[in-house]
């Protein structure tokens, strides 16, 4: 290593992160070609085409595109969510996706189906998130720690499934991770102190989860000051109490978020109020938990904790807890004698302890605690605290670092034991993804007994109506879609993936019917039995013998 040029040592981690981002993005793009479209995607596809059409017009006719009437018409679809990821998805579809002929333009042949192209920006965001985790782990303890951090995140079956969709949950997890890592750099760099506000604005433009980031980082900064004073007896300079990173997030983040969302350019305050009201009064989903169906708040307080235990391999939870405990102990007892160099521009110089466990633990625990509140609406299951998992991954990397420091093994033995342990830690998630790459919402961890154990426990088997691979019939001309969203069906049809002789119809006129197995859908199954005179489905899509989707039709 002594003969390796310095620029190679500096670029090596960046190239490694770039390679990981490329591999993850490619793997998601390829594997999710066979993943059905979830109900929310159908809505996002429609909005994405509208948003991208406005960008196209902005390039060709900027004066006309900037008129409020035209701009609002393009951004009205799905305006209750920020526009950034949908705009990127629509542009990706225009650049690399295929699309059928339209009235104003001929058919377009691209590198991939239109829906796959719309999913590509979210998949790239997942790849970037893995690259950031690799770089953070590498800075802490080398290549294997970086690979462990990236793998702990992306090899969670629920993360893998959601990472491939044209949705916002994994992109906002990546964006929040980027903000937190930038905040760490901003403690001793004025440039990063400015950039952290820009990154937070981009995160807010991805999804509303990022609105909590500023208060959480302010809380962390305040706790650091309290711990510093408790350990040293010295009070930090007043200029470092509300430093540049916090000011940047208060000033730049709202401006950047506003610029990324053209719907907000007019009537900003009323539309902002509408945005907050929509999420505060969000429509409720049905969710099965321990054999009971919930369709309105409050959910049991233990729901997110139990579901985390049921969907995240226990070995990662234990490893992350060890990382939090060992680093947290050091954070609490670390002395802080370097306040003389603290200032508004650099509030935490290198002479002060970083207290990373406090930071990562705060961001790992908060999303789960938020969903636990009785007043929180019932959202779509585990995807709503995916933002916790990058920080669990960083805590796992911290535990990894401490383990080898305490073990003090000979170099020859460590050379093979370290990669072996990485494989052992990542194997449960990797095996689950291999077994069910397109059915991640139905996959459960060994602690819950896998999909079979979760079914016995009465946990949700799936939702969103995406699990239709191999179930659609060729013969009947009318089919009841059940929970498959009509806009998702239209996307299949746009791409030539929907049988031409299949038309949606109400159950009373249908010749076949889809049934997605959820507890609150039991009456729908009974209706299908009565309609077709049989209780035996023609086709069943299952995971480990657990039925997920059934096709009913009259016996031949």
Q: How do residues 74-108 score in pLDDT, each as one tens digit?
A: 999 999 999 999 999 999 999 999 877 665 566 67
Q: Where are the domains of the chain?
A: 142-264+271-405+414-435, 439-556
pLDDT at 1: 46
- Pairing between strand 539-543 and 503-504? unpaired
What CA–CA distance (Å, rounded) separates 313 from 396?
A: 12
Q: Is 326 left (phi over 0), alpha (psi -120 to 50) or beta?
A: alpha
pLDDT at 427: 93
Element (H or E) spanning 275, and its range? Answer: helix 268-280
What CA–CA distance (Å, rounded) separates 452 from 462?
A: 13
The mean pLDDT value for 333-356 works out to 77
Asked if the model's pLDDT at residue 540 lies above 70, the reply is yes
Q: CB-hemisphere CA count at 13 Å for 556? A: 4
Residue 407 in contact with residue 399, Cβ under 8 Å? no
In this prediction the pTM is: 0.94
Whole-number average pLDDT of the chain: 90
Strand order across the 478-480 sheet: 503-504, 478-480, 512-516, 546-553, 539-543
Burial class (CB in 10 A: 0-12, 13-18, 19+), 399: buried
Q: How do residues 179-200 score in pLDDT, each as one tens digit?
A: 999 999 999 899 999 999 999 9
Q: How many CB atoms lie within 10 A of CB 11?
A: 12
What CA–CA distance (Å, rounded) separates 501 from 496?
A: 12
What CA–CA distance (Å, rounded) separates 98 from 114?
A: 5
What tokens were used for 147?
């690979």
DSSP 300: P
Element (H or E) spanning 542, and its range? Answer: strand 539-543
């Amino acid at each position: 290593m002594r003969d390796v040029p310095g620029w190679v040592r500096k670029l090596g981690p960046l190239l490694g992160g770039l390679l990981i981002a490329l591999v993850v993005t490619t793997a998601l793009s390829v594997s999710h070609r066979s993943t059905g479209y979830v109900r929310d995607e159908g809505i996002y596809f429609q909005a994405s085409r509208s948003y991208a059409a406005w960008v196209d017009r902005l390039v060709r006719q900027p004066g006309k595109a900037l008129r409020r009437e035209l701009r609002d018409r393009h951004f009205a679809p799905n305006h209750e969510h920020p526009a950034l990821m949908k705009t990127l998805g629509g542009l990706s579809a225009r650049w690399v996706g295929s699309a059928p002929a339209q009235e104003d333009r001929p058919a377009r042949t691209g590198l991939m189906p239109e829906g796959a192209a719309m999913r590509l920006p979210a998949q790239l965001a997942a790849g970037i998130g893995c690259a950031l985790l690799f770089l953070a782990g590498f800075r802490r303890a080398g290549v294997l720690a970086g690979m462990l951090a990236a793998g702990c995140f992306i090899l969670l079956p629920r993360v893998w499934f959601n990472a491939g969709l044209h949705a916002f949950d994994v992109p906002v997890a990546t964006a929040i991770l980027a903000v937190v890592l930038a905040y760490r750099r901003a403690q001793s760099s004025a440039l990063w102190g400015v950039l952290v506000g820009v990154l937070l604005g981009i995160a807010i433009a991805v999804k509303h989860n990022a609105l909590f980031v500023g208060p959480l980082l302010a809380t962390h900064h305040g706790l650091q000051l309290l711990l510093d004073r408790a350990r040293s007896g010295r009070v930090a300079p007043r200029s470092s109490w509300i430093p540049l990173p916090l000011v940047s997030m208060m000033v730049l983040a709202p401006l950047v978020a506003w610029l990324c969302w053209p719907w907000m350019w007019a009537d900003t305050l009323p539309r902002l109020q509408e945005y907050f009201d929509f999420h505060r009064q969000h429509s409720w989903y049905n969710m099965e938990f321990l054999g009971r169906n919930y369709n309105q708040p409050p959910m049991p307080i233990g729901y997110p904790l139990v579901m985390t235990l049921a969907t995240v391999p226990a070995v990662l939870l234990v490893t992350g807890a060890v990382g939090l405990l060992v680093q947290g102990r050091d954070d609490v007892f670390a002395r802080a004698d370097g306040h003389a160099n603290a200032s508004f521009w650099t509030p935490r110089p290198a002479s002060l302890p970083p207290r990373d466990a406090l930071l990562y633990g705060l961001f790992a625990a908060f999303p789960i605690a938020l969903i636990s509140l009785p007043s929180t609406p019932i959202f779509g299951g585990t995807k709503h605290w995916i933002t916790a998992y990058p920080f669990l991954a960083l805590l796992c990397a911290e535990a990894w670092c401490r383990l080898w420091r305490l073990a003090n093994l000979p170099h020859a033995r460590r050379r093979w034991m370290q990669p072996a342990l990485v494989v052992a830690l990542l194997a449960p998630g990797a095996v689950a993804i291999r077994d069910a790459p397109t059915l991640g919402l139905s996959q459960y961890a060994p602690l819950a007994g896998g999909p079979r154990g979760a079914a016995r426990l009465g946990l949700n088997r799936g939702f969103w109506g995406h699990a239709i691979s191999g179930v659609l019939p060729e013969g009947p001309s009318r089919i009841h879609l059940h929970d498959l969203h009509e806009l998702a069906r239209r996307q299949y049809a746009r791409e030539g993936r929907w049988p031409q002789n299949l038309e949606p119809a109400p159950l009373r006129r249908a010749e076949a019917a889809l049934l997605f197995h959820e507890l609150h859908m039991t009456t729908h199954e009974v209706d299908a039995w009565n309609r077709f005179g049989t209780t035996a489905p023609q086709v069943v899509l299952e995971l480990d013998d657990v039925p997920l989707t059934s096709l009913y039709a009259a016996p031949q």
